[in-house]
Structure 1
Amino acid sequence: MQNFIFFDIDGTIISEDGFLPESAVRAIRSARAKGNATLINTGRTSMNVDPFLKEIGFDGYIYGCGTELEYDGKILFHETQTPSLSREIVELVRRTNVAVLYERSDAMFYDTQTRMLPGLEELLDLYTRKHTAFSAVPETPDWYTDKFVIWYDEKSDLAGFQKGIQGKFDYIDRGNNFAEMVPWGCSKAKGMAKLMELFGAEREQVFAIGDSLNDRPMLEFAGTGIAMGDNPMLHPYADYITVNLKEDGLEKALAHFNLI
């Protein structure tokens, strides 16, 4: 029976500082060679998945927490936000004094009219070093986003921000004054469900491996949810907890379930 294995990226395949263990590459390739379908399931949009990750070899991708699905090189689904809603969010972000990065499949944007908090500054510095393109939010009527992330501090009106996105976006607390906004009705789990319906697969065939709270939906949807050892916030939602990435946690988890 073919299994479907969904992998988060950051903290699961690579560390936050970009370290890719050879054991992770070996494990993913071995799982695929054994006849399993291997898929990335990430909060990143498609333009932000590094080429060296795609070179590992995957059958498909769920991008942007379920906002875009790709399998066997074909785009199966892509949800974007309207320019009017996107501009409404821009005004909300500016009014509530948070820092922001807007993400869509072909571009990323920061806002020169909002704050530059340390987390955003560090991320933009990383993108600069990696030659990952980003630009300022244009003041054009046709601009739009797919999803976005924010950073906040004691000067931010977080309650006002959360109230402003109700019914439009899900708010995912990522810890350390950082949060991710995913369109209402989209999630890593919803993306998985769409693919499983397409292939007529049962949940018992589905494995999901992640490390942070935005991975909770996919761990709960999967027949077997696996959490990396680093983040105890995710552990209550996992069926199995492996060790961390640098201790070869991904490879050990796949070996435990006889997937490699």
Structure 2
Amino acid sequence: MAYKIAFFDIDGTLVDEEKRIPADTIDAIRRLKERGIEPVIATGRAPYFFKELAEEAGIESFVSLNGAYVKYKGQDLYESQIPPEVLEKLVALAQKNKHELVFEGKEAYFSTAPDHPAVFEAVASLRVTHPEADADFWKKAGIYQVFLHCESHEEHLYPAELPELRFVRWHAKALDVLPTAGSKAEGIQALLDSLGIKPEEAIAFGDGLNDKEMLQLVGLGIAMGNSHKELLPYADYVTTNVDEGGVKNGLEFAGVL
């Protein structure tokens, strides 16, 4: 297969536990571009969480917020916001359960209580600036994704009450909240359609639970060696860990380096 594009998750894929991009990953992406294959970030993160990282990696395009906001070489390509009426239900239920929320727009994000231990711990793991407080931010701007801060034994309180949303855990104390049909695959498909590229002509790398749909969509889905064990059945190939040449080795397996 002649691959034309490659999608890369960030945390645990492009960057290690210290949120650093290994030198061999940067070199592999440079060589990939030299061969005419477009690298694209595909992440649950919002754009303001990875601007410097994308520049360091030499990547110009992204599928962000778990597929809800796509930008290709500086041009907005696809957007999918959570409807305000659905957010209103989520806010009411979170208040009832005494759980904090973080609302993510495409240019800024705010929390209902940024100093709450669960919010602080989860956001700190991303190594990004902590959100300021604005419990009504969802009323003022388009919201593409929400962090729900609760523990695993409390997850059951939400899906039945909010069938319009899906909940994907990314931290012991935090879940991504997105539309039921939302996923990285949705944003990737929108990008592929705009470029006239078939899914089977794409490669994707990931390591987390929010990468399942993405790995299933593309022609070659590669899981990192450090992946969540539940992701592995969705991968066509398992490469080495992020800090053991995982991206480079995966691209070599794909025959594009």
* TM-score (structure 2 length as normaliser): 0.89
Please give the secondary structure, in 1, of the residue aligned with 2:70: strand
Question: Alpha-carbon deviation of 1:72?
Answer: 1.5
Letter matched to residue 159 of structure 2: Q
Query: In the alignment, which residue of structure 1 is the partner of 2:121?
Result: 122
Please give the secondary structure, in 2, of the residue aligned with 1:149: strand
Alignment deviations for residues 201-253 of structure 1 (CA, whole Å, 9 cap, x no partner): 12221100000010001000011000001122211100000011111111111
Matched ranges for 1:94-113 at <5 A: 94-112=95-113
Letter matched to residue 151 of structure 1: H
Please give the secondary structure, in 1, of the residue aligned with 2:67: coil
Query: In the alignment, which residue of structure 2 is the partner of 1:236?
Result: 233
Query: In the alignment, which residue of structure 2 is the partner of 1:224?
Result: 220
Is 1:164 the counterpart of 2:161? The answer is: yes
Letter matched to residue 221 of structure 2: G
Assess if the C-alpha contact under 8 Å between 2:100 and 2:148 holds in 1. yes
CA distance in 1, matches of 2:143, 2:250: 35
Assess if the C-alpha contact under 8 Å between 1:242 and 1:253 holds in 2. yes
CA distance in 2, matches of 1:77, 1:160: 31
Change (3 A) 1:103 1:16: farther
Query: In the alignment, which residue of structure 2 is the partner of 1:185?
Result: 181
Change (3 A) 1:99 1:139: closer
Identity, % of aligned positions: 26
Assess if the C-alpha contact under 8 Å between 2:103 and 2:145 holds in 1. yes
Assess if the C-alpha contact under 8 Å between 1:218 and 1:225 holds in 2. yes
Letter matched to residue 76 of structure 1: L
Is 1:252 the counterpart of 2:253? The answer is: no
Please give the secondary structure, in 2, of the residue aligned with 1:65: helix
CA distance in 1, matches of 2:115, 2:90: 15
Matched ranges for 1:23-102 at <5 A: 23-102=24-103
* TM-score (structure 1 length as normaliser): 0.88
Assess if the C-alpha contact under 8 Å between 2:111 and 2:135 holds in 1. no
Give the CA RMSD over aligned residues.
Answer: 2.4
Question: Alpha-carbon deviation of 1:134?
Answer: 1.8
Is 1:194 the counterpart of 2:181? The answer is: no
Assess if the C-alpha contact under 8 Å between 2:105 and 2:141 holds in 1. no
Assess if the C-alpha contact under 8 Å between 2:151 and 2:174 holds in 1. no
Question: Alpha-carbon deviation of 1:162?
Answer: 2.1
Which one is further off, 99-108 or 21-30?
99-108
Assess if the C-alpha contact under 8 Å between 1:105 and 1:146 holds in 2. yes
Q: How many residues align?
A: 254
Question: Alpha-carbon deviation of 1:17?
Answer: 2.6
Alignment deviations for residues 42-79 of structure 1 (CA, whole Å, 9 cap, x no partner): 10111222313233222421110111111121001222
